């Protein structure tokens, strides 16, 4: 092994991370959230918005919270209402909206017949499975790259403009397109509806926008024999709902990380751990690669001093994903090139960190983020910083290679900024293609020592987290130096302790299908 | 005395540009690019690089010579006129002139999700070797983070009895930061709170002149650190106290 790491130490880290994640899992299993319940409604084919633009899935959960008790779960009410009225779930939603139907009488009824829900759920899961097969078939038919996949963002606010920019980037050689969400969407407790043309710093994540971009990229694939992956954000307060619509519309990757939401968006930790579990089950089933957000720790904390927090968090995120029955090949664990360029040997430390992540998570498609914190407005220097980052990405075999923009910290990328970034990365991928096979690292040299130090510090941190529990760790602000409280933050009012009779039939079927290990219809 | 940009000879007027046109990359695109640059008052235009971004967009790198010249003595700058103190001088200044800690409250407001700017000024670590306000003796630094609503920022400022409000705007799109900064001042005035606080803005596209124009006490652009912000604030606070 290139870095001569201690495999026993890595195993110990994994075991500690597993205990940490399992403790949280015990908590997760006891509760549900409004967004989990709305996700179930989406799998019951409820779609659309009322005349006031409130999604029908929200109409139902709002109604149950106001009139009855959501801790019984939406499946309880819907099963009974279907049996009673003979209406479809969509018709039920509309009748509630028009005040022609109340679910309150079902609150006290028992023994709901969930089998009435299963045909629709099976149909929706089959749709997801069909999308997964299309992806896998198309990827198999088209040539596979041996160098990192180039990931760029589009962020115009207008989905039609985004499509222009995405196609332009695809022409230039981008492999992955992320549509950045409009700022603030992570804090909305509903998913907006329909195609949208206005947003700040990004574009609304809506099912229709997903569909429009998917179609445009599929057309590109047909004409150019190259599959372009589409990314959005299953994060924030609507984490599992967006995972569901992404699964239905064949997104290929989803940013998905509770820890990020807790730390950087002040989302309540209880809410988002519950949401994350369901969203990861959906993504695991849909074959969607998740991207985690550890890289962001380093935009706040110092990248040299706090490198071990990234590694510790990667270990924990891996276990959260395993608990959601996700295969390692879908775990896009995040890290970043954020060390101060004024530090001597910064390149060596970056290389050590990138090699370390790859060595510890060899089957995970690591998501590698470019410099942002130390980009200055000197675009000429910025281009060189990005070049060094690109060299590390290629040399250490990162998978998801987010391209740095020379105008980072100035504006959302111009079309030309993106093209220059792709040219830069393509040139380096070619120039350094087999470089890694030609080099080995000096035992006891800077790179090997650094990698072992970071691993050692990560183990110490994992031990502390295991002892105090992850909730306490977050309260103490050990990640990114930001402290969050168990009973504070956004979305806490959407958390419900499950009633004894609670059932989530979508989750049940997802787990069954995942455990069967086959995705046959 | 009039000057022009410097390439390799005084007043040769050499200038470099790059931009994209919504045209295919061909001879017609290049001629169009050239004509556009000539309209900017640049002659001897050389399109040194042209490349397609896709079938209908093209990118150009251009050199030329500008006709324009300028007399630098006619240019005035709105600058912050307080002395810049070091961290220890600021701490001593606070100890001498105030019998209580000074409270700074800061946020990246509106839609801006970036905390780089506010963190650089406020957090312990600071930026580029300059410690943040949190590290200063005599300063209480409260960093509310990003995407904070104007209303929330004001509520928190009142709640913590803040002396100084810091607002960061890092990345903006279509000038949304201007609207957002304007509405904060309007909010302060509507609530009759403008004189209760020293209000300072910062960010890559902020300068002191813009800050004054929008009704703020000061504005800090790139390469300004915690000690610049704190020097200004403590001087103004003392003036307010003495007045």
Express each pLDDT in A24-46 by its tens digit: 999 999 999 999 999 999 999 99
Domain match, A184 and A293 both: yes
Q: Which residue of A has its CA nearest to B172?
A: A411
Domain match, A154 and A299 both: yes
Maximum CA extent, chain A: 75
Q: Which residue has the tokens 């040539």?
A: A143
Pick the catalytic residue from B2, B125, B137, B159.
B125
Range of the domain at A416: 148-450
Given this model, what pLDDT does residue A51 score? 95
Domain match, A110 and A190 both: no
Helix (H, G, I), strand (E, B) or coil at A366: coil
Cβ contact A171–B55 (<8 Å): yes
Domain match, A112 and A152 both: no
Q: Is residue A134 part of a domain?
A: no
Nearest CA-CA distance, residue A412 and chain B, Å: 7
Q: For residue A77, is pLDDT > 90?
A: yes
Q: Is residue A103 part of a domain?
A: yes
Given this model, what pLDDT does residue B5 score? 97
Nearest CA-CA distance, residue A464 and chain B, Å: 23
pLDDT band at A313 (very low <50, low <70, confident <90, very high): very high
Cβ contact A200–B55 (<8 Å): no
B45-64 residues touching A, CB cutoff 8 A: 51, 53-55, 57, 59
**B108 - beta bridge partners?**
B168
Domain match, A107 and A163 both: no
Q: Which residue of B has its CA nearest to A171?
A: B54
Domain match, A160 and A83 both: no
As a whole number of angstroms, the distance between CA A152 and CA A421 comes to 9
Q: Is residue A403 part of a domain?
A: yes
Domain match, A69 and A177 both: no
pLDDT band at A519 (very low <50, low <70, confident <90, very high): low
- Collect all residues of chain B within an 8 Å Cβ-Cβ radius of residue A415: 20, 53, 57, 59
Contacts of A460 (CB under 8 A, 6+ apart): A308
pLDDT band at B171 (very low <50, low <70, confident <90, very high): low
Cite the beta strand spans of A430-503 per DSSP E.
Answer: 495-497
Least confident of A46-60, A403-417, A483-497: A403-417
Pick the catalytic residue from A367, A368, A441, A490.
A367
Domain match, A178 and A57 both: no
Q: Is residue A96 part of a domain?
A: yes
How many structural domains is chain A composed of?
2
Q: Is A295 a catalytic residue?
A: yes
Mean pLDDT of the region A364-368: 97
Given this model, what pLDDT does residue A505 score? 97
Domain match, A80 and A218 both: no
Domain-ending residue, one of A94, A116, A138: A116
Contact status of B204 with chain A (Cβ, < 8 Å):
yes
Q: Is residue A191 part of a domain?
A: yes
pLDDT in tens, A375-432: 988 999 999 999 999 999 999 999 999 999 999 878 878 889 999 999 999 999 999 9
As a whole number of angstroms, the distance between CA A471 and CA A485 comes to 8
Q: Tally Cβ neighbours within 10 Å of residue B159.
A: 10
Given this model, what pLDDT does residue A93 score? 98
Domain match, A189 and A309 both: yes
Q: Are A308 and A294 contacting, i.e. CB atoms less than 8 angstroms apart?
A: no
pLDDT band at A82 (very low <50, low <70, confident <90, very high): very high
Q: Are strands A331-332 and A289-291 parallel, antiparallel or unpaired?
A: parallel
Domain-ending residue, one of A424, A450, A476: A450
For A151, which DSSP code? E
Helix A415-431 to helix A379-395 angle, to the nearest 10 degrees?
Answer: 40
CA triple A399-A401-A406, angle to 5 deg:
170
Contacts of A46 (CB under 8 A, 6+ apart): A56, A57, A60, A89, A90, A93
Q: Is A515 a catalytic residue?
A: no
As a whole number of angstroms, the distance between CA A290 and CA A295 comes to 14
pLDDT in tens, A426-469: 999 999 999 999 999 999 999 999 999 999 999 999 999 999 99
Contacts of B68 (CB under 8 A, 6+ apart): B4, B13, B41
pLDDT band at B123 (very low <50, low <70, confident <90, very high): confident
Q: Which residue of B has its CA nearest to A339?
A: B128
pLDDT band at A80 (very low <50, low <70, confident <90, very high): very high
Q: Is B193 a catalytic residue?
A: no
Least confident of A273-277, B178-182, B212-216: B178-182
As a whole number of angstroms, the distance between CA B183 and CA B110 comes to 10
Q: Is residue A34 part of a domain?
A: no
As a whole number of angstroms, the distance between CA A229 and CA A254 comes to 11
Mean pLDDT of the region B215-219: 94
Helix (H, G, I), strand (E, B) or coil at A320: helix
Domain-ending residue, one of A450, A471, A503: A450
Domain match, A198 and A66 both: no
Q: Is residue A425 part of a domain?
A: yes
pLDDT in tens, B88-116: 999 999 999 999 999 999 999 887 767 77
- Collect all residues of chain A within an 8 Å Cβ-Cβ radius of residue B113: 183, 201
All structural domains of chain B: 14-72 (3.30.30.60), 87-242 (3.40.50.280)
Domain match, A199 and A323 both: yes
Q: For residue A216, is pLDDT > 90?
A: yes
Share of chain A above pLDDT 90, in %: 87
As a whole number of angstroms, the distance between CA A200 and CA A183 comes to 6
pLDDT band at A521 (very low <50, low <70, confident <90, very high): very low
Q: Which residue of A has its CA nearest to B50?
A: A416
Q: Is residue A127 part of a domain?
A: no
**B173 - beta bridge partners?**
none
Q: Which two tokens stand for residue A97?
A: 């909206």
Residue A173's CATH number: 3.20.20.440
Q: Are B78 and B135 contacting, i.e. CB atoms less than 8 angstroms apart?
A: no
For B43, which DSSP code? E
Given this model, what pLDDT does residue B189 score? 93
pLDDT in tens, B148-167: 889 999 999 999 999 999 99
* Selection from A347, A230, A206 nearest residue A286 by Cα: A230
Contact status of B217 with chain A (Cβ, < 8 Å):
no
Q: Mean of the per-residue pLDDT values for chain A?
A: 94
Among B115, B147, B174, beta carbon nearest to A183: B147
């Amino acid at each position: 092994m290139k870095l001569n790491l201690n495999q026993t130490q890595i195993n110990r880290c994994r075991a500690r991370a597993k205990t940490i994640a399992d403790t949280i899992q015990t908590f997760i299993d006891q509760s549900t959230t409004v967004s989990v319940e709305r996700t179930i409604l989406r799998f019951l084919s409820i779609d659309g918005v009322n005349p006031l633009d409130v999604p029908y899935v929200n109409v139902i959960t709002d109604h149950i919270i106001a009139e009855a008790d959501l801790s019984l779960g939406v499946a309880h009410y819907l099963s009974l209402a279907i049996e009673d009225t003979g209406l479809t779930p969509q018709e039920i939603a509309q009748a509630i909206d028009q005040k022609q139907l109340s679910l309150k009488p079902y609150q006290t009824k028992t023994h709901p017949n969930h089998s009435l829900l299963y045909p629709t759920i099976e149909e929706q899961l089959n749709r997801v499975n069909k999308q997964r097969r299309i992806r896998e078939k198309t990827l198999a038919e088209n040539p596979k790259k041996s160098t990192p996949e180039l990931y760029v963002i589009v962020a115009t606010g207008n989905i039609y403009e985004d499509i222009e920019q995405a196609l332009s980037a695809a022409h230039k050689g981008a492999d992955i397109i992320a549509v950045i969400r409009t700022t603030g969407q992570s804090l909305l407790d509903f998913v907006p509806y329909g195609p949208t043309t206005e947003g700040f710093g990004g574009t609304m994540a809506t099912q229709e926008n997903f569909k429009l971009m998917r179609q445009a990229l599929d057309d590109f694939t047909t004409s150019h024999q190259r599959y372009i992956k589409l990314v959005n954000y299953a994060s924030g307060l609507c984490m599992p709902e967006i995972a569901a619509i992404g699964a239905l519309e064949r997104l290929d990757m989803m940013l998905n990380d509770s820890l990020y939401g807790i730390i950087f968006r002040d989302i309540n930790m209880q809410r988002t751990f519950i949401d994350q579990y369901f969203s990861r089950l959906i993504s695991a089933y849909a074959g969607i690669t998740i991207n985690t957000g550890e890289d962001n720790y380093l935009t706040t904390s110092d990248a040299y001093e706090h490198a071990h927090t990234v590694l510790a968090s990667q270990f924990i995120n891996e276990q959260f994903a395993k608990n959601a029955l996700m295969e390692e090949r879908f775990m896009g664990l995040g890290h970043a090139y954020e060390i101060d360029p004024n530090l001597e040997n910064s390149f060596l430390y970056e290389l050590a960190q990138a090699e370390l992540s790859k060595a510890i998570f060899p089957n995970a498609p690591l998501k590698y983020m470019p410099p942002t914190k130390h980009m200055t407005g000197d675009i000429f220097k910025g281009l060189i910083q990005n070049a060094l980052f690109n060299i590390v990405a290629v040399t250490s075999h990162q998978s998801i290679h987010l391209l740095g923009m020379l105008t980072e910290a100035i504006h959302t990328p111009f079309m030309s900024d993106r093209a220059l970034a792709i040219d830069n990365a393509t040139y380096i991928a070619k120039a350094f293609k087999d470089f890694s096979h030609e080099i080995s690292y000096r035992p006891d040299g800077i790179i090997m020592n650094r990698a072992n130090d970071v691993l050692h510090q990560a183990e110490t941190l994992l031990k502390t987290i295991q002892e105090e529990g992850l909730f306490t760790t977050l309260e103490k602000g050990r990640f990114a130096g930001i402290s969050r409280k168990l009973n504070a933050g956004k979305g806490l009012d959407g958390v419900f302790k499950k009633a004894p009779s609670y059932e989530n039939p979508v989750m049940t079927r997802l787990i069954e299908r995942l455990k069967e290990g086959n995705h046959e219809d | 005395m009039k000057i022009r940009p410097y390439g390799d000879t005084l007043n040769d007027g050499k200038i470099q540009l790059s931009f994209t046109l919504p045209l295919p990359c061909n001879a017609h695109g290049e001629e169009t690019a050239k004509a556009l640059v000539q309209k900017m008052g640049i002659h001897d235009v050389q399109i040194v690089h042209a490349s397609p971004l896709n079938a209908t967009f093209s990118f150009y790198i251009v050199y030329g010579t500008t006709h324009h010249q300028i007399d630098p003595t006619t240019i005035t700058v709105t600058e912050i006129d307080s002395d810049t103190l070091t961290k220890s001088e600021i701490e001593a200044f606070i100890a001498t002139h105030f019998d209580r800690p000074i409270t700074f409250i800061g946020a990246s407001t509106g839609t801006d999700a970036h905390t780089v700017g506010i963190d650089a000024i406020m957090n312990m670590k600071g930026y580029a070797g300059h410690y943040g306000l949190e590290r200063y003796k005599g300063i209480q630094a409260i960093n509310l983070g990003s995407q904070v609503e104007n209303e929330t920022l004001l509520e928190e400022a009142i709640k913590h009895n803040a002396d100084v409000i810091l607002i960061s705007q890092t990345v903006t799109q279509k000038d949304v930061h201007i609207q957002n900064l304007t509405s904060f001042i309007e909010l302060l005035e509507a609530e009759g709170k403008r004189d209760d606080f020293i209000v300072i803005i910062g960010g890559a596209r902020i300068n002191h002149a813009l800050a004054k124009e929008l009704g703020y006490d000061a504005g800090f652009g790139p390469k300004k650190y915690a000690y610049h912000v704190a020097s200004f604030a403590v001087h103004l606070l003392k003036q307010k106290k003495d007045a």
